[in-house]
Structure 1
Amino acid sequence: MSNFAAVRHDSLVRYLARHVTGEVRFDDTSRRLYATDASHYQIPPLGVVIPKTEEDVLVAVQIAADLSVPITARGGGTSLSGQSIGPGIVLDCSKYLNRVGEIDAANRTVRVQPGVVLDQLNRELAPHNLFFGPDVATASRATIGGMIGNNSAGSRSIRYGKTIDHVRSLSAILSDGTRTTFGPLTATEKQRKLERRDREGDIYRTVERVVTTNADEIDRRFPKIVRRVSGYNLADVKPNTLVPLIVGSEGTLAVVSSAELSLVPKPVHRGLLVPQFDSLRAALDALAVCLEFKPSAVELMDELLLNLARQQRSLKHAMGAIHGTPAAVLMVEFITDTASEAAALVEKLSAKLRGAKGLTVAVTANDPQLRDPLWNLRSAAVPLLYGMAGDGKPITFCEDTAVSPEKLPEFATRFREIFHKHGTDGTFYGHASVGCLHIRPVLNLHDPGDVVRMRAIMTDVTDLVLEFGGSLSGEHGDGLVRSEWNRKMFGDAIYDGFRDIKRAFDPTNVLNPGKVVNGPAMEENLRFTPGHTVAEPPTVFNYEKQGGFFRSIELCNGAGVCRKTQGGSMCPSYRATMDERDSTRGRANALRLALSAERGVRNAEVKTESFPPHAAIRASHSALEERWVADVMDLCLSCKACKAECPSNVDVAKLKAEWQQAYYRRRPRPVGHLMLKNIDWLSPLASQVAGPLNWFGRRSLIRRVMQWSTGFDRRRSLPEFHRQHFRRWFSKRSPLAARRSVVLLDDCFTTYQEPHIGRAAVEVLEKAGYSVQLANVCCGRAMISKGFLTAAQGLAERGIAKLIAAADAGVPILGLEPSCVLTLADEWPELVPGDAAKRVAASAFLIESWLANEIAEKKCELLVRAKTSKALFHGHCHQKALVGVGGTQAALKLVPDLAVTTLDAGCCGMAGAFGYEEEHYDLSVKIAGLQLLPALAADPAAAVIATGTSCRHQIRDLTGRHAVHPIELFTG
């Protein structure tokens, strides 16, 4: 690095830090995490600015302009085309600039900041019966700023159009750092703009010249279809506003600081018909009939997507409307004012389709219980496809074409012929209603031959799109993958007009360079070097199903489902910090980058020669042992929500345990870790001196000493031990003789800290007619949570040896603590691969779920008396992720006259030892305060039920309320 470059770099950082009130991050970790989005590209930036105010955005652009540093505005980082990464400053508005302004319900408008997430906006609009029309599949994390940059649409664009149709005005910052507003102008106002002798005047004059001079060519070259988002929107520019030009410009013309949006009435009733076909062509041939009835959406899903959904734990339930194994299905939706109207349209279309060629069945799915999960499955398509095991994936590069709907059947047939010509096939799904299908060939971009094949396929596809009068991008934009093809798609005259407009707006090429015009070759800047093999580190868990440790990491494509802030539990720490490094995606990226070589950018259009090389991130020697990886992994609660809620099944809890095993290979362990590792033999010792130990544990001074010596925060109450623990109680009683028996997993927490729950379980089981024997094994949950995997493996081996006889005899192994019994089902088979572990896993159940099933099958009877009339139920994260809360809900329904509300309140934040640790206590409390504590406070008179010991501890510490285990309701 030259001295001059270092001085310039230091000046940039210093200026930003001095004048930006938000966060200025030029550390290597931040640069790594912002080097990727949901595309298959990677460009490490110089640094990241996270503005707190709109003034921060202005200042950041001004400083970048003064120093000629590229700046890329980023939303949720969900771009599939690489729009949201760049080599200069990445501007992330999602953390702080997410305020929804005043809602004008009468005029159906609202002003928002660019970091507002679509689902967040629609939640705030719901009381006014309004919403923002474009409904992208990434609504849980896509920001309005990103949607404006991309001109996003969604499944219902046949009814609501694209973002361009709903933006009234924009507050923006030009590349020279000046503020301006783009919106409707009177003739006089426009004339004044044209007469200005500054950047803004140049813009208006250039746009008018380009649009006027090329009017005939624009009319000829821009497709006459709804879904068209390639290039700059010259065909949509109106005489009195440039808003349509800014929308869809991918941040290359201006940086949006706020937007005024038009709103539409919220749908009242929805009907859905799901016709299913024995071939893709048959489904597309039926499209014309569907469109006759003016639906609000017609979505297509093919066989590959449906088969992957069947294998995905959180999407299996979404398949209720799918009969058999169709080759393709359509989802035809109607939005109406009355339910009867919607039902009538569904029935009329069903009748019209009867006898259609290739139709196997048409299922009515008007019931939200059947309809909504299927719609969620369609929204999960991208990460679901990237969850395919192995290196071959349905790759995003030609997936975004759009043609007129009547041409779609023949177009798709010809498209598949191109795949076959190049020795592959792919998946077909998407917005059939507007002729925009996501068609992805299966390729392995680690293979240099497949990278060559990618370009060859794209060459043929662009020819096909031109032949059919379509658009190369109908939704995802140009970015790094399609910008180089814009000259071919639009012709020299239009492309030169694009370049003129870019120069007028951004003469120094600092705004998101290399997108829309002057783009690099589509093979440049790939996440991985083709032909380069990443060495697999030694592991303890088995990763055979995923094809290895590295491939299990690569299941994450960056779609960002983990950045949602409502519904489910993923990802607790991200919800609390809103920080990219604390997302599931951030952690997967950290592991991937640590194991793979970090590379630079080969983009001749980007000029940063006077700064240090933007790829100069230190290489890894002992990849998983580097401190920066620890910083990223630190706030993972190992809640396992990602294993279920990420459609790609990225199991970061498992990856974190493996990383910890490697990280501490040559490092001393904290005392707190060692205590957790040995909880199975420390707990019996503690119970021997339970009285004095509990007394000392309540003393403030002792807690301070504990914090200093073990790292357990003094503000956290310590668990209380019992001399008359569960195993001791059990050993002194006379067992019930019964024809049927069960094994009860006497976990360390129940046995020594909550023995009353174990006693309740025995009482209930015996009352139901079962004899009980104790497992007397430790599952190793605490060991696994801190990465003591070899020790946990030994425990699992011994546990399997003890329990295999019961499993083979058909005796169920019942657990009270979800994290423990589900360790048998989830981790043991991957710690000790083999049939024995699988048989034990198949015999392990949550006690209340198993009991509810036995009663439902009339294998036993249980008379229960209600102890309360109203209760709130909070499920343990591992339970929600691995088996769901349905079994517990079924059990609670057996309690007469008990009204139970199941909370969808995310994670409690305790996560075993996580909430005890000094460095994590505050975050633990913050996570609980996001949803769980408000939900409990809203109903202070209700009893509280929680399956997890950590959850009960957190609730007691933070609310003073005593939560009970479900089995306690069945006693007495």
Structure 2
Amino acid sequence: MTDFTELRRDSLARHLRKHLAGEVRFDVGSRRLYSTDASIYQIEPLGVILPKSAEDIVAAVQITAEMHVPITPRGGGTSLSGQSIGPGVVLDCSKYLNDVLDIDPIARTARVQPGVVLDAFNRALAPYNLLFGPEVSTSSRANLGGMMGNNSAGSRSIVYGKTIDHVRRLEVVLGDGSRASFGSVTPAEWDRRAEQRTLEGGIYRQVGEIVRRNREEIRRRFPRILRRVSGYNLDVIADGMDDNAVGLHQLLVGSEGTLAIVTEAELGLVAKPKARGLLVPQFSSLAAAMDAVAACLEYKPSAVEVMDHYLLELTAGNLALRETMKAIRGRPQAVLMVEFQGDEEKEVADRVEKLRRRLEGVNGLTASVPALDPSVRDPLWDLRKAGMPLLYGMRGDRKPVTFVEDCAVAPERLPEFIARFRETLRRHGTDGAFYGHASVGCLHIRPLMNLKDPDDVARMRRIAADVTDLVLEYGGSLSGEHGDGLARSEWNEKMFGPTVYQAFREVKAAFDPDGLLNPGKIVDAPRMTENLRYGPHYRPTELPVVFNYDKQEGFVRSVEMCNGNGACRKTQGGTMCPSFRATLDERDSTRGRANALRLAISGEQPLREMRSKWVRDIFDLCLMCKACKAECPSNVDVAKLKAEWLELIYQGRPRPLSHLLAAGLPTINRLGSPFSPLVNWLQNQRPLRWLLEKTAGIDRRRSLPSLHAGHFRRWFARHKPDAAAGRIGRVLLMDDCFTTYNEPAVGRAAVRVLERAGYAVELTNLHCCGRPALSKGFLRATRSLVQSQAPALARRVADGTPILGLEPSCLLTLSDEWTELAPGPDVQRIAAAAHLADGWLAKQVQEGRCALRLRPLEEKCVLHGHCHQKALVGVGGTAAALRLVPGLDVTVLDVGCCGMAGSFGYEKEHYDLSVKIAGLALLPALASVPESAVVAPGTSCRHQIKDLAGRRAHHPLEMLAAQLTPIGITTSTPSPPFR
């Protein structure tokens, strides 16, 4: 394409901004963020467009065509083959074009825009007991437009087929900017349209002629298997012409945005199954698992998925999935997940049991675990969906690479094919990770390679050449669902032969005469080893970091763990990523931040690049919630990386006042506490609020936490212990800065409960855990703080005494950041001793180590967990503590982040986003339960709930303390409602 100067780039941007209502971004940050997707490739575009309407797409295509600039449509950016990156303009439809326009439950159809996410679509269909059949593993962020471009299929394709089987009509923009509507037509209608003297008419004429001329070769060269998405769907058009029911929409599905750009689609829907169940057979070898697939298929399952030992081992180390691994017995080398669905639970359970009995005694079977309860079944299914990004969590530069990961053959030939595939890999000196859709003969096999090594790049090409030979031998397809893209398009002539390949080129020319729609995909592709994200050219810089990165084998590799899978773009379930959920903007995703850091450290001047405006803007809205540490399948910990980034960019440079105030919070609280009446009065005065906003950036709309002269430590020094204290043992209570000075009532409640349970309470008396300083990246200062306090604290817990915390962010700092700032025996001992007080106490009661007499409370309460708590230890312990209260009905909210995030929600530049995040799920959830008590372990969460919902949220130990049976009372009478 034309080598654009900055002047011509600016001219293109000006033209686009003049004619589009959507966003036009040609800044360096946007160009770099959109240079990658979930593939191994990287191509920086000229700019990015975020259209707001079909008219925007029309204008964008017309303007780019006039200036001879390629345009690449993009959805969630989850392409594994490089389909959604390109050298011209990237058209991101995910932010604004994401509406479900209409649902017709009678006809079982729906009209959608291309940016609708699959999970969101199915949520909209749920009230009608309908769903969209294809279910891909990236359903939480995959856009329907991308699924159509890719002809996606997913786990249940043995029942529902591929996306092409559910597309009824497509509204599109053609390469010249004209609009067209494609659906099934009769032969007469096809001929009528072919008479038009327009681009659309020419398409009908030429495609009809191409298919008729090449019909026999198409039938000979296209594999007749369940899963084939490579090339253009000329076989479907040929079959349709024979059946007098054909439409060009069938050609567009799977065309990867190379023929037209979809603006709207009419999709067919299916009935939602009333019951589902899983059987999880486990095997001593992958070969044994493959041999068992045929027996599984006899029982008509809706899916048969396979996972090998690589995936299972990495799952065991994933914080969010670790609990799920309890269903896996021992250390199998492979497991199958056989799913059944039906109209009745008993029917499904019977089929699961019949298969379980059928597999008894099968060679290599080590266990067979039914999973019928949704609480067990659904996490197991999620484990399979996490496959590819989990694999990228492998330590070191040798990773499972996506380039021959999508081969498909007939299911009955799969065991032999897999054995031959593994032989091929071993012949080339490597192995691979094997998982995928055994039910339809499509396995995702990822050879282990280091693409930073030129020898491995050459080896990758040799493996691909051998695998294409193997696939042809077995009558299969090089792609069963992931498409061609940059990874496989080069091989299409070999796979389909020169005649059919030339037909592909003619189809491309008919739709797109100038070759500007996503060029280089399917036909006329570059070599598969070009445009690599990592390659011999890649030279990242190791920087003088403070955190320990031994688990990831260095800071650089910690950054590189992001493979672009886009799990951080989900908008429901869990917490990751709060800022993206509020803005739906790529730069505000975990992926965007990890990408920005990787691009910065691989530049010629990494520190200068890290200090640049585009990198600062990308990190600015990170709340450091730690959700990505647990929920990112690759375990990318952006909270840790942001803290390191802040430390690096401010080395030898002055800090903003807001940073200094946040880090100095312990000292400010301690000095201000004696004057709390005056301080509390002053901070509510409008002139001071205005001054704080102007000088320190604290938004005047945000209330400030009150100080208490009678702070917790002062009260504790004077209080008389309960008569039961010390009867069982001793605990150290972490008197964090927030509990001590801002909410001493929480500390008093904790002491009452712990002493009544029989424990003598001592305070840790730490100056500070370092949490406020960490939030602004004062890593060296925090490390000194840890090193000065850890030895004495470690001695106090050497006898097994636990450290119990009330504020999750502070307590979990001891077990998380302390271990990575100052690793060593003292800190490890402290981390092992650190527990959240409520969860620890619940466990002691449940295991019979202590008793706690509590009055009944016939009331409902909702529990909102702290983000750090949810990421690192979960809220199960807190819920268990609340359920110690007889009669208390506890509901754990799944509403993500509250949006406060410590100092983040106080800052003027972040206040509006903080409020928006709370409004996504938390505030509506609270509004729906006006009569329920609200419980939140985190002080930031309680503050946000008070400010925005006008309701008091209680600490869980306050709830327990209020229900303690008074001393001397032997009968338990219900207490009044807790408000």
TM range (shorter): over 0.9
Which residue of 497, 518, 522 maps to 1:491?
497
Which residue of 283, 306, 316 maps to 2:322?
316
Gap change, CA 1:887 and 1:294, over 3 Å in 2: same
Asked if 1:432 is matched to 2:418, the reply is no
**Counterparts of residues 757-906 of structure 1 (less than 5 Å):** 757-777=746-766, 778-866=768-856, 869-906=859-896
Structure 2 letter corresponding to 1:708: K
State the SS of the aligned residue for 1:257.
strand
Match of 2:661 in 1: 675
State the SS of the aligned residue for 2:181.
strand
Structure 2 letter corresponding to 1:42: Q
Match of 1:665 in 2: 651
Deviates more, 1:114-123 or 1:338-347: 338-347
Q: Deviations over 1:363-393 (max 9, x none)?
A: 1111212211110000000110001111111
State the SS of the aligned residue for 2:55.
helix
Match of 2:535 in 1: 529
- Distance (whole Å) between structure 2 residues aligned to residue 129 and residue 405 of structure 1: 31
Asked if 1:656 is matched to 2:642, the reply is yes
Structure 1 letter corresponding to 2:647: Q
Asked if 1:104 is matched to 2:104, the reply is yes
CA contact (8 A) 1:276 1:359 kept: yes
Match of 2:735 in 1: 746
Structure 1 letter corresponding to 2:60: A
Match of 2:970 in 1: none
Q: Deviations over 1:736-760 (max 9, x none)?
A: 6625110010000000000010011
Match of 2:176 in 1: 176
Deviates more, 1:726-735 or 1:435-444: 726-735
**Counterparts of residues 262-301 of structure 1 (less than 5 Å):** 262-301=268-307
Q: Deviations over 1:407-448 (max 9, x none)?
A: 000000000001110111111100000000001111010111
Structure 1 letter corresponding to 2:611: E
Q: Deviations over 1:312-349 (max 9, x none)?
A: 11111112321111111111111111111111111111
Unaligned runs of 5+ in 2: 963-979
- Distance (whole Å) between structure 2 residues aligned to residue 483 and residue 549 of structure 1: 35
- Distance (whole Å) between structure 1 residues aligned to residue 708 and residue 680 of structure 2: 9
Gap change, CA 1:6 and 1:823, over 3 Å in 2: closer
Deviates more, 1:905-914 or 1:178-187: 178-187
* Cα displacement (A) at 1:196: 1.9
Which residue of 348, 353, 365 maps to 2:359?
353
Structure 1 letter corresponding to 2:459: R
State the SS of the aligned residue for 1:214.
helix
Identity among equivalent positions (%) equals 62
- Distance (whole Å) between structure 2 residues aligned to residue 409 and residue 799 of structure 1: 59
**Counterparts of residues 626-637 of structure 1 (less than 5 Å):** 626-637=612-623
CA contact (8 A) 2:564 2:591 kept: yes
CA contact (8 A) 1:868 1:943 kept: no
Deviates more, 1:339-348 or 1:175-184: 339-348
- Distance (whole Å) between structure 2 residues aligned to residue 188 and residue 313 of structure 1: 59
Structure 1 letter corresponding to 2:405: E
Match of 2:944 in 1: 954
CA contact (8 A) 2:541 2:606 kept: no
Match of 2:259 in 1: 253
- Distance (whole Å) between structure 2 residues aligned to residue 966 and residue 938 of structure 1: 21
- Distance (whole Å) between structure 2 residues aligned to residue 346 and residue 532 of structure 1: 50
Match of 2:977 in 1: none
* Cα displacement (A) at 1:698: 1.4
Asked if 1:510 is matched to 2:522, the reply is no
Match of 1:592 in 2: 598
State the SS of the aligned residue for 1:900.
strand
Asked if 1:695 is matched to 2:681, the reply is yes
Match of 2:10 in 1: 10
* Cα displacement (A) at 1:625: 2.1
- Runs ≥4 residues deviating over 3 A: 1-8, 734-737
Count of aligned pairs? 952
Which residue of 715, 728, 746 maps to 2:701?
715
* Cα displacement (A) at 1:866: 4.1
Match of 1:377 in 2: 383
- Distance (whole Å) between structure 2 residues aligned to residue 81 and residue 464 of structure 1: 20
Q: Deviations over 1:613-663 (max 9, x none)?
A: xxxxxx756232222211100000000000001011100000000000011
Match of 2:78 in 1: 78
Q: Deviations over 1:24-58 (max 9, x none)?
A: 00000100100000001110100000011111111
State the SS of the aligned residue for 1:326.
coil
CA contact (8 A) 1:874 1:946 kept: yes
Which residue of 643, 666, 672 maps to 1:686?
672
* Cα displacement (A) at 1:865: 2.0
**TM-score under structure 2 length normalisation:** 0.96
State the SS of the aligned residue for 1:920.
helix
**Counterparts of residues 39-438 of structure 1 (less than 5 Å):** 39-237=39-237, 238-239=240-241, 240-438=246-444
CA contact (8 A) 1:620 1:626 kept: no
State the SS of the aligned residue for 2:552.
coil
- Distance (whole Å) between structure 2 residues aligned to residue 568 and residue 750 of structure 1: 27
* Cα displacement (A) at 1:481: 0.6
Gap change, CA 1:495 and 1:891, over 3 Å in 2: same
State the SS of the aligned residue for 1:293.
coil
* Cα displacement (A) at 1:9: 2.5
* Cα displacement (A) at 1:534: 1.7
- Distance (whole Å) between structure 1 residues aligned to residue 4 and residue 310 of structure 2: 54
CA contact (8 A) 2:607 2:649 kept: no
- Distance (whole Å) between structure 1 residues aligned to residue 899 and residue 845 of structure 2: 34
* Cα displacement (A) at 1:901: 1.1
Structure 1 letter corresponding to 2:708: H
Structure 2 letter corresponding to 1:54: A
Unaligned runs of 5+ in 1: 599-618
Match of 1:614 in 2: none
* Cα displacement (A) at 1:2: 11
Which residue of 737, 745, 748 maps to 1:756?
745
Match of 2:974 in 1: none
* Cα displacement (A) at 1:531: 5.9
Q: Deviations over 1:169-191 (max 9, x none)?
A: 00001000100011112333211
- Distance (whole Å) between structure 2 residues aligned to residue 816 and residue 97 of structure 1: 44
* Cα displacement (A) at 1:3: 12
Q: Deviations over 1:231-264 (max 9, x none)?
A: 0011111233111110000000000000000000
Gap change, CA 1:316 and 1:2, over 3 Å in 2: closer
- Distance (whole Å) between structure 2 residues aligned to residue 798 and residue 236 of structure 1: 71
CA contact (8 A) 2:31 2:47 kept: yes
- Distance (whole Å) between structure 1 residues aligned to residue 794 and residue 692 of structure 2: 40
* Cα displacement (A) at 1:6: 4.5
Deviates more, 1:337-346 or 1:932-941: 337-346
- Distance (whole Å) between structure 1 residues aligned to residue 250 and residue 652 of structure 2: 58
- Distance (whole Å) between structure 1 residues aligned to residue 539 and residue 98 of structure 2: 41
Structure 2 letter corresponding to 1:672: S
* Cα displacement (A) at 1:670: 1.4
State the SS of the aligned residue for 1:80.
coil
Asked if 1:447 is matched to 2:433, the reply is no
- Distance (whole Å) between structure 2 residues aligned to residue 622 and residue 707 of structure 1: 30
Structure 1 letter corresponding to 2:765: N
